[in-house]
């Protein structure tokens, strides 16, 4: 597989219609186009073309049993891809689309089995990014798109991240600058009891304002065995190259443990990368760490936006191990914790404060 990957640079506020037309023609011809959404960059193909969809799996080296999200330009197109759409779906669409919410619904007949990994349900969303919507509209077909990274790696938030993983494997990259949300969409199943399958850009609290209490699917080895058809929910996923350890706990104890662990690794001549909050930085001054600050604990939108780029930066700087702090579970914290837990592949350390410190 060796293609010439073409990059079209677009200003989201003033798009060159000719470049959108060319990219849309590539989609209609069965090719692969990476494009920005508000969450992360997606790798798109015509969702109605089984061969094109197989191309996505080949380019990403993604196992065929991991289903894709279908992207629409408008909620009005939902009946093209799903059936038996409950009123609740329309209500959620009216509130959250365009935006980072993916709904899992019964699969429409036009959708090839390749998209849904043979399953009876389909995942669908209307992205909020002007380039994404212009591309889908110009193509005139729903676009199936996973995140535009090699399978198991961090999702791309910049065109350069896409090229690092997929150059020579896809036809076009639309470069619309860095994405604004920075983490993938929330995946909400509306088949049976509404359940969050993957926390993401729409918070649990925002969904609960409409739905009342919403279950969050627990990612445990047991739960994974019970759900073999959704391995996108795999534990080890969204991973930087360096092993990552996630530390959870109250701030003072968390910092003390991070500092002690960082020194211990350093003594073993392991280059330590720290993923910190802005509030942590004064405690880590004057030593030879690689530090990436994702943002303030008081501003989780910024943390979400910068998280993947920060992890990529620690990899690029040569970290031998990454020690990351947790950001809680309120609002976007839940999605941030989900991604860091997966990057940690289960290496999550609960820090308990000494009795005199609380
Ligand atoms: O923000 C996003 O969701 C980005 C942008 C490009 O839209 N896309 C994305 O796609 O993150 P991907 O393929 O990397 O993750 C899709 C997730 C996977 O965990 C997959 O298993 C799950 O959605 N999924 C897809 N179809 C499903 C279905 N029918 N039932 C349950 N889960 C599904
Ligand atoms: Mg992905």
pLDDT at 221: 54
Mutate to test the pocket of ligand 1, among 43, 102, 165 (most ligand atoms within 8 A of CB): 102
Distance 203 CA to ligand 1 centre (A): 16
Half-sphere exposure of 237 (CA within 13 A, CB side): 18
- For residues 68 and 98, is the Cβ–Cβ distance under 8 A? no
Torsion angle of the four alpha carbons 354, 311, 309, 158, in this order, in degrees rounded to the nearest 10? -150
> Ligand 1, atom 13: nearest CA belongs to which residue?
146
Which stretches of the chain drop beneath a pLDDT of 50?
228-231, 358
Q: What's the mean per-residue pLDDT of the chain? A: 93
Choice from 135, 153, 184 to test ligand 1 binding pocket (greatest atom count within 8 A of CB): 184
Distance CA 276, CA 34 (A): 30
Residue 145 CA, closest ligand 1 atom number: 6
pLDDT tens-place string over residues 87-101:
999 999 999 999 999
Tally Cβ neighbours within 10 Å of residue 277: 21
Kind plus residue range of the DSSP H or E element containing 244: strand 244-248
Laid out side by side, the sheet with 69-71 consists of 6-9, 172-175, 33-36, 41-46, 143-144, 69-71, 121-125, 101-106, 186-189, 195-198, 215-216
Distance 146 CA to ligand 2 centre (A): 5
Asked if 24 and 139 touch (Cβ cutoff 8 Å), the reply is yes
Task: Give me the domains of the chain, ranges plus CATH numbers.
Answer: 6-185 (3.90.870.10), 244-357 (3.40.50.11030)
Query: Which H helix or E strand runs over 338?
Result: helix 333-344
Residues 100, 105, 108, 112, CA torsion sign: positive
Fill in the DSSP letter of residue 80.
Answer: G
> Strand (E) positions, 88-226?
101-106, 121-125, 143-144, 172-175, 186-189, 195-198, 215-216
The pLDDT, as a whole number, for residue 228 is 44
Ligand 1 lined by 157 (C-beta under 6 Å) = no
Verify whether ligand 1 is closer than 6 Å to residue 199 (CB atom).
Answer: no
State how far the Cα of 163 lies from the Cα of 153, in Å rounded to an integer.
13
> Residue 182 has what pLDDT?
98
Distance 219 CA to ligand 1 centre (A): 15
Best residue among 45, 103, 146, 196 to mutate for probing ligand 1, ranked by most atoms within 8 Å of CB: 146
Of residues 220, 237, 228, the one with CA closest to residue 345: 237
- Residue 43 Cβ inside 6 Å of ligand 1? The answer reads no
Closest ligand 1 atom number to CA of residue 230:
21
Report whether residue 126 contacts ligand 1, using a CB cutoff of 6 Å: no
> How much distance in Å is there from the Cα of 311 to the middle of ligand 1?
21
Atom in ligand 1 nearest the alpha carbon of residue 119: 29
CA-closest residue to ligand 1 atom 29: 122
Q: 266 CA to middle of ligand 2, Å?
A: 33
Torsion of CA 142, 148, 151, 157, to 10 degrees: -130
- In sequence order, what DSSP letters do the residues of 201-216 get, joined into one string? SS-HHHHHHHHSS-EE
Instruction: Give distance in angstroms: CA of 44 to centre of ligand 1.
Output: 13
Dist. CA 69 → ligand 1 center (Å)? 5
Ligand 2 center to 267 CA (angstroms): 36
Burial 70-104 (b: 16+ CB within 10 A, else e): bbbbebebbebbbeebeeebeebbeebbbbbbbbb
- Cβ–ligand 1 contact at 36 (below 6 Å): no
**Backbone φ, ψ for residue 11 (5° rounding):** -90, 115
- Is the distance from the beta carbon of residue 179 to the nearest atom of ligand 1 less than 6 Å? no
Name the closest ligand to CA 70. 1
Q: How far apart are CA 55 and CA 114, in angstroms?
A: 10
- Match 């212009």 to its residue by tokens: 134
Interatomic CA distance for residues 318 and 28, integer angstroms? 41
Q: What ligand has the least distance to the C-alpha of 151? A: 2
| 102 CA distance to ligand 1 middle (Å) | 8
pLDDT score at 231: 45
Retrieve residue 282's tokens. 């004064």
Determine whether 167 is exposed, middle or buried from the number of CB atoms within 10 Å of its CB (0-12, 13-18, 19+). Answer: middle
Cβ 273 vs Cβ 321: under 8 Å? yes
């Amino acid at each position: 597989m060796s293609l010439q990957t073409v990059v079209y640079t677009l200003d989201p506020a003033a798009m060159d219609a000719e470049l959108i037309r060319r990219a849309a023609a590539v989609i209609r011809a069965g090719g692969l186009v990476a494009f920005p959404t508000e969450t992360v960059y997606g790798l798109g193909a015509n969702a109605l073309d089984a061969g094109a969809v197989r191309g996505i799996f080949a380019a990403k080296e993604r196992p065929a049993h991991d289903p894709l999200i279908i992207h629409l330009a408008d909620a009005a197109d939902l009946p093209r891809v799903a059936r038996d759409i409950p009123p609740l779906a329309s209500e959620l669409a009216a509130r959250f689309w365009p935006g980072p919410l993916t709904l899992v619904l019964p699969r429409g007949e036009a959708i090839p089995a390749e998209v849904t990994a043979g399953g009876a349900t389909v995942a669908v969303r209307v992205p909020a990014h002007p380039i994404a919507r212009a591309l889908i509209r110009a193509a005139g077909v729903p676009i199936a798109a996973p995140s535009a990274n090699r399978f198991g790696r961090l999702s791309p938030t910049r065109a350069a991240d896409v090229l690092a993983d997929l150059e020579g494997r896809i036809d076009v990259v639309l470069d619309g600058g860095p994405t604004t949300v920075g983490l993938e969409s929330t995946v909400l199943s509306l088949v049976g009891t509404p359940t969050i399958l993957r926390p993401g850009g729409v918070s649990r609290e925002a969904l609960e304002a409409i739905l009342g209490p919403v279950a969050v699917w627990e990612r445990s080895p047991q739960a994974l065995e019970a759900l073999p058809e959704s391995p996108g929910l795999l534990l080890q996923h969204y991973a930087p190259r360096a092993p990552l350890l996630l530390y959870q706990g109250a701030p003072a104890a968390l910092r003390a443990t991070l500092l002690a662990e960082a020194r211990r690794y350093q003594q073993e001549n392991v280059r330590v990368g720290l993923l910190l909050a802005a509030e942590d930085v004064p405690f880590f001054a004057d030593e030879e760490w690689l530090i990436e600050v994702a943002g303030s604990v008081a501003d989780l939108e910024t943390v979400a936006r910068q998280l993947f780029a920060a992890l990529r930066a620690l990899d690029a700087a040569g970290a031998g191990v990454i020690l990351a702090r947790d950001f809680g579970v309120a609002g976007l914290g839940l999605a941030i914790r989900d991604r860091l837990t997966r990057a940690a592949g289960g290496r999550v350390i609960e820090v308990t404060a000494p009795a005199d410190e609380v």
